[in-house]
Structure 1
């Protein structure tokens, strides 16, 4: 299975730590589309947009941003990262992403997740006490929509469907649906049982953070009769590809630290990350994908060996990294990192066959 490398963004609006300037929403959405275009031009495999419903993010409607990206790109896959499915209508999610699939000639996919930010639930009239049940039921409906049309279905949280004609259909035979997992054992088990691809999120911590998660996922998949070795797994992590190791850390740190402090307030009062802690999280055994091209190559290969990954998505602009530095990092990822990682992984798989 080919190893895919891509980028993702939340489209956050964060004050520049050097100038104090706050980018406008218009500027940020235009920059997001430019990032997708450049990622496509340099040969990356995937571009993702996350979903947040707050004034410090522009990604409240990822499907619209991805549709715009579809018109500016030719080959790159376009995915949500993630769709907060518990507060969405699966019928509308399908309609939106099937439309993106038509626009992009079969390049759309969905990463469905529970969401680590919960502002969308009260916004759309859902009770957080139903958080887990909402996701289970809505994922079931989304998968049923993918499998059959017309559809008759009934659940607890939305009106039933009776011979419902849900259109459009995907451009190709199917629309890939992944499940985003942050480390919950129960989520890993349920995703494995369904035989769905799993997208792991790693904010901070050691590379080995998800060993139990992956183990439970594969065990539950095998018990349910799926070919566990054939199920795709992705790691979604923060990072930056610099000219040198030091330059990468010097560029990323102030913006990443500001983003952690300013854009994580729903998790408390923000997260104050010292330079020493950041450098520790950038070490070979830690999860951040920050460093020179060679360092990123080595870490991605280590991730592949550890988890049997098939995909890595890097969030490189968190905290409002200036666009020029962001685009330069995307270019390095596509031209210096991705070809080597793909070649090395392919060679490893040939030797193992």
Structure 2
């Protein structure tokens, strides 16, 4: 199994202290966390893309390019690239450049994105967002594979025998499809024979497991090799402590502050207590053995070979969060790497081109 540390670069007051960090400090924190993730042995670091409050992740290619210069081994992920909002030609130019700067360490996770404000910002409607996502991905993947492209597009000017530069380092780049609840994303992934990354954050396991089952059905429908099917899954939180009691006690203030925020802003409340959150959500909160057992339970249902955890402290003291990441890599990851399979492809650049 491979492990990613992921951030959406949320920028709101600390849920426990109420302190809001300056923007430059929050971005510096992301950079430091990526360098730490490589030092600790994580396999990848992901940066989200959002174009609305309270996120600072509107320019993931800029952030990831900076991280490419500061790291050497770790793979760099988008989480997710919101292709329904973007011109696929411009997105290709940015990511092909990043692909070269990182010497082929780029993986993309794409999706239509969430949020009414960012949809309105780019004048995308609920009715056309799925068609935009599918068209943008079709153009994007064709540009990556073909030196010239002709495309009769609906949502951007048509392309006729167009060249787009630079040509990529990886031929092709690996593209995952991020999905929270949508069968459309699942079907798009299966149609192209691409891996799926389940958000697996907000709810208990059942709805995510159902979507992954649907992905497997569609994968077979499109005639792909079952041995190549690949699933990744997210988690709702991380705190690895010496004992389960210590973990729950330490995480309780964070949970209660987040619960109060959900109620104040009218967000749906799924887990009413920290005990329920630890037990039924995907959060990895507990002793090392407790977390190993939980990942195994999810793996039995998902069959996933890649797992992401939170790169950010998210309300925990920085020292506690760092200790948790270190304990995860020293006491949890080795057991899971030994027992659970890796993805069915090399974790290196795909067919690097001179």
How high is the TM-score relative to the length of structure 1? 0.88
The offset of 1:205, in angstroms, is: 2.7
Task: Specify which of 306, 321, 344 is matched with residue 326 of structure 1.
Answer: 321
Distance of aligned partners of 1:168 and 1:186 in 2 relative to their CA distance in 1, 3 Å threshold: same
Q: Per-residue CA shift, 1:246-281, capped at 9, x if unaligned?
A: 33333434335545665899xx6335577x533212
Q: Which residue of 2 aligns with 1:344?
A: 339
User: Contact 1:233/1:310 (CA < 8 Å) preserved in 2?
Assistant: yes
User: Contact 1:240/1:252 (CA < 8 Å) preserved in 2?
Assistant: no
The offset of 1:321, in angstroms, is: 3.9
User: Contact 1:50/1:82 (CA < 8 Å) preserved in 2?
Assistant: yes
> Superposed, which structure 2 residues align to 1:130-279 within 5 Å?
130-243=128-241, 244-259=243-258, 262=261, 269-271=266-268, 276-279=272-275
Aligned residues: 342
User: Contact 1:38/1:330 (CA < 8 Å) preserved in 2?
Assistant: no
User: Contact 2:44/2:77 (CA < 8 Å) preserved in 1?
Assistant: yes
The offset of 1:224, in angstroms, is: 0.9
The offset of 1:167, in angstroms, is: 1.9
Task: Specify which of 65, 68, 78 is matched with residue 66 of structure 2.
Answer: 68
CA distance in 2 between partners of 1:272 and 1:216 (Å): 26
The offset of 1:127, in angstroms, is: 3.1
User: Contact 2:81/2:111 (CA < 8 Å) preserved in 1?
Assistant: yes
Q: Per-residue CA shift, 1:293-330, capped at 9, x if unaligned?
A: 22222222222222211101112537444433333222
User: Contact 1:261/1:269 (CA < 8 Å) preserved in 2?
Assistant: no
Please tell me whether residue 282 in structure 1 is matched to residue 278 in structure 2. Answer: yes
> Superposed, which structure 2 residues align to 1:16-165 within 5 Å?
16-165=14-163
Q: Per-residue CA shift, 1:182-224, capped at 9, x if unaligned?
A: 1223432332122111000112332333222112111111121
Task: Specify which of 1, 8, 11 is matched with residue 10 of structure 1.
Answer: 8
Q: Per-residue CA shift, 1:123-152, capped at 9, x if unaligned?
A: 123333311111111111112122212211
Q: Which residue of 1 aligns with 2:350?
A: none
What is the DSSP-based 3-state SS (H/G/I as helix, E as strand, rest coil) of the residue aligned with 1:202? coil
Distance of aligned partners of 1:80 and 1:251 in 2 relative to their CA distance in 1, 3 Å threshold: farther
User: Gapped runs of 5+ residues in structure 2?
Assistant: 345-354
CA distance in 1 between partners of 2:281 and 2:16 (Å): 27
CA distance in 1 between partners of 2:260 and 2:138 (Å): 36
CA distance in 2 between partners of 1:260 and 1:92 (Å): 39
Q: Per-residue CA shift, 1:155-185, capped at 9, x if unaligned?
A: 1000111222222233233211111111223
Distance of aligned partners of 1:123 and 1:144 in 2 relative to their CA distance in 1, 3 Å threshold: same
Of 61-70 and 244-253, the range deviating more from structure 2: 244-253
Q: Which residue of 2 aligns with 1:335?
A: 330
User: Gapped runs of 5+ residues in structure 1?
Assistant: none
Of 216-225 and 285-294, the range deviating more from structure 2: 285-294
Distance of aligned partners of 1:346 and 1:223 in 2 relative to their CA distance in 1, 3 Å threshold: closer
**Backbone CA RMSD of aligned residues:** 2.5
